[in-house]
Amino acid sequence: MWWGVPVVPLACTGMGWFAVCALSRNMLLLFLLIPVYLLMRLIVRNDDQKFRLLYLKARFRVGVRNTSFWGAHAFNPIVFKKRKTQ
């Protein structure tokens, strides 16, 4: 952790924000990184793995194809393949 925020989310946010500032050629946008940092620190105040949990939640919500079939998310370790027709 650096300054109370996990390294990976802090680095990803910082690099992404710097890229936006460089592409827009407005370095004053870097000052908006301060409230983002404070928000990140507020998120991990009670649980330092909160960003990992949020990532897993987003990963399991996006790209689920069987929601319309079951009416809910269903996960299982079986790989479904198309059967060969005889």
- Which stretch of DSSP H or E encloses residue 55? helix 50-61
Q: Which residues pair with 5 in a beta bridge?
A: 2
| Model confidence, pTM | 0.58
CA–CA dist 14, 54 (Å, integer): 18
**Residue 3: pLDDT band by 50, 70, 90 thresholds?**
confident
| Contact present, 4 and 39 (Cβ < 8 Å) | no
Tokens of 61: 């919500």
Tens digits of residue pLDDT in 20-44: 888 888 878 778 888 888 888 888 8
CB 5 within 8 A of CB 44: yes
